[in-house]
Copies of this chain bind each other. A is one copy, B any other.
Amino acid sequence: MGGLGISFSFGCSSGLSKGFGSRLASLTEAVSEASSWIEAGASSGQSGFGWYDLPEQDTSGIEDAARWLSGYEAIIHAGIGGSALGNLMLHQALLPMYFNERPGVPKFYLADNPDPEKTAAILEMARGRKTALIGVSKSGATAETMSQFLWFRSKLEGIADGDILVITDPSGGVFRAYANAGGCRSLEIPPSVGGRFSVLSACGLVTAGALGADIRAVLEGASEMKNFLRGRKSPEDNPALKLAAVSYLHSIDGRPMTVLMPYSSRLETFAEWFAQLWGESVGKDGVGSTPVRALGAIDQHSQVQLYTEGPDDKLYTIIGLDSRGAEVELPEVTDESLSSLSYLSGRKLGEMLGYEAASTASALVKAGRPVVWIELGRLDPRTLGGLIFFYEYTTAAAGRLLRINPFDQPGVEQGKRYTYGMMGREAYKADAEEANELFKKVKSGALKI
């Protein structure tokens, strides 16, 4: 195989902090323990650790469903958070960048927000196309997803149970009951896999496969990364543990943000997927760092001013690419009026983008900011799978170092109860009263223009 072709550099991950190296060294034991904790949790099948075993899952059911879906003219995917972001991430990274305009391939519409205007627009776009409907919710109870699913089911012309797929827990929840009762297709998210760790389950893989991505190669790459990391307990030979430790130290050291800035439009949503994975996993009990997603070169014209000259309160990870799937060679500049652009003649965009990534990293280091550099030899299904697994492992380890449970999300329950209460559900009456009191305060003293 010759490896995944991903390299990790932490040469400037400490910025100019004095004593960073010895503080990192003092974490050696905790880091090793985090690694053992992950491996033990996975091998004993504990709740939350199921992502660790997804690379080796049996994909026959997923591939069947992908083949079936690929026969439609459009796919509407109702899901939110972990049941949506991973799909976008896989599609953007693995399919031709005009994938939603390719003849012979289903159009893909993501119903990821219960916004009536977006929801109605999706129905409009699917009109006249033979459409499959997918509903994804691990719990089978997510109000936003359920609402959109119910509405599309009632509105899509000629839709039958045979055009519907639900992806959910194998035994519990409304979606499972519906599949059991009605005979629609269904696939499983294993009980031990949390929503934000589910991209390598049916949740993420089915639609990617239907649209033409090589999902077996994605899993191979994830498996290769897993095998590399397994048993390596020191930050010095396990880059995921090192990134976890470096992130941990910066987060308790006055740098409450972690920026992920890939230099490829194909990885734009990867940064967003990471933001969910990281934010919801480590942000609890008053700790955790805030993920900030960026995109090179675009954010050089948006956020880099702040990054280099604003407060020194972020850790930066830049992802560079060595080669790209397409190249754009600039023409000879012959117009006299454009002569000052002659330095661009015959140059390649990919080359320029590479220089820009290196320049941003260098400018950040010059400004004393900590930088981690990840370089992909190429971006293909295997490297993407490896990168996904790498970040899942890093996130779990970082949670362990922070002494929190990276696999739960207790903090989203309060808002859910308030919403249920406002929607009039009987059991949540007290929540509604509390929410109304608080919301009155929020809106107090409004100034209207």
On whether A115 and B264 interact (CB within 8 A), knowing A305-B280, A338-B174, the answer reads yes
A448 neighbours in B (Cβ, 8 Å): 3, 5-8
Partner-binding segment picked from A35-43, A211-219, A341-349? A341-349
Does B8 contact A447, Cβ atoms closer than 8 Å?
yes
Asked whether A423 lies within 8 Å of B355 as measured between CB atoms, the reply is yes
Q: How far is the CA of A147 from the CA of B7 in the complex (A)?
A: 29
A286–B310 touching, CB < 8 Å: yes
Segment at the B interface, from A65-73, A185-193, A202-210, A325-333:
A325-333
Pairwise interchain contact A290-B292, C-beta atoms closer than 8 A? yes
Q: A154-B331, A306-B283, A310-B286 are contacts. A445–B174 as well, Cβ < 8 Å?
A: no
Q: How far is the CA of A343 from the CA of B330 in the complex (A)?
A: 59
CA distance A116 to B360 in the complex (A): 19
B116 touches A97 (CB 8 A): no
A256 contacts B311, C-beta separation under 8 Å: yes
Find chain B residues with CB under 8 A from A353 CB.
Answer: 114-116
Instruction: Provide the bound-state CA to CA distance between A82 and B371, in Å.
Output: 26
A8 surroundings in chain B (CB, below 8 A): 446-449
Residue A414 CB within 8 A of the other chain: yes
A59 CB within 8 Å of chain B: no
**CB-based contact B97/A121 at 8 Å:** yes
Whether the Cβ atoms of B286 and A303 lie closer than 8 Å is no
CB pair A422–B355 under 8 Å, yes or no, is yes
Contact check, A96 vs B113: say whether CB atoms are below 8 A apart: no
Name the contact of A313 in the complex, choosing from B5, B290, B333 (C-beta under 8 A): B290
User: Distance (Å) between the CB of A69 and the closest chain B CB?
Assistant: 21
Docked pose: A338 CA to B143 CA in angstroms: 12
A182-B337, A256-B256 known; A125+B101 contact, CB < 8 A: yes
> Which B residues touch A343, using CB under 8 A?
420, 423-425
- Contact B178 A442, beta carbon cutoff 8 Å: no
A446 contacts which chain B residues (CB < 8 A)? 7-9, 11, 373, 375
A305 and B147 contact, CB distance less than 8 A: no
Cα distance, A82 to B299, chains bound together (Å): 10
Q: A409 contacts the other chain (Cβ, under 8 Å)? A: yes
Contact present for B292 and A292 (CB under 8 Å): yes
- Asked whether, in the complex, the Cβ of A117 is within 8 Å of the Cβ of B326, the reply is yes
Question: Which residues on the B side are within 8 Å of A264 (C-beta)?
Answer: 115, 117
- Chain B residues within an 8 Å CB radius of A335: 178, 181-182
* Residues of chain B with a CB closer than 8 A to A3's CB: 448-449
Which chain B residue shows the least CB distance to A195?
B301
Known: A178-B337, A365-B442. A297 touches B11 (CB 8 A): no
Q: How far is the CB of A120 from chain B (nearest CB, A)?
A: 4
CB distance from A245 to the nearest CB of B (A): 14
A18 within 8 A of B: no
The answer to whether B116 touches A331 (Cβ under 8 A) is no
Interface check A315, CB cutoff 8 A:
no
